Amino acid sequence: MTATNKAVFLDRDGVLNAEIGHYVWRPEEFQVLPDVPAALQRLHAAGYRLIVVTNQAGIAKGLYTRTDMDACHQKLQQACGGLIDAFYFAPGHPSVSQSLSRKPDSLMLEKAMARFGVDAAQCWLVGDRARDLQAAAKVGVRAILVGHEEPLTYEPRVENLAAATDLILGIGSV
């Protein structure tokens, strides 16, 4: 396997940027978490593709547009030195439409895996919700739960992306 056959799929809100209690779509409210740029740099240096997979139901609800979301993603890319290889998003909401892209379904991951030719056995997903873990399981990708918001017993569970990066790179214990 070459380095390009592996990826880390990253949930957005609560993993890469601060969870603020409501939809995050204004760039001035979009706060990249302090540990994120260094963690992404370490993963990139280890040969992982970095792929964001995010549910964005506020688009279906008419609260914001794709352009608003893209502005937040641009802010994230700038904060992280442009290291993110791709952004996949699911704009639907169960009350408005059904979508296989929306986590816990796995279409976002499947599309990224096909596009980049990554091997599920060489990939990880870092998320903060049960639906993230479920999407990873559907495609055979190992997952790490970040934070303590989700009332779920799951291992491995770590504090933040920096700790998840330690596990992925074999510095911590899985």
Q: Which of 56-65, 95-104, 123-132 has the lowest mean pLDDT?
A: 95-104
Mean pLDDT of 105-109: 95
Q: Which of 13, 105, 128, 132 is catalytic?
A: 13
Query: What's the mean per-residue pLDDT of the chain?
Result: 92
Tell me the per-residue pLDDT of 68-104, one tens digit each, with 9 for 90 and over.
999 999 999 999 999 999 999 998 766 666 677 889 9
How many structural domains comprise the chain? 1
**Domain of residue 12, CATH code:** 3.40.50.1000
In angstroms, the CA 40 to CA 162 distance is: 9
Is residue 30 in some structural domain?
Answer: yes
Q: Which of 11, 68, 128, 132 is catalytic?
A: 11
Q: What is the pLDDT of residue 174?
A: 47
Please indicate whether residue 132 is annotated as part of the active site.
Answer: no
In 3D space, the residue among 104, 105, 102, 144 whose CA is nearest the CA of residue 126 turns out to be 144
Residue 124: which domain range? 3-168
Is residue 173 in some structural domain?
Answer: no
Please indicate whether residue 13 is annotated as part of the active site.
Answer: yes
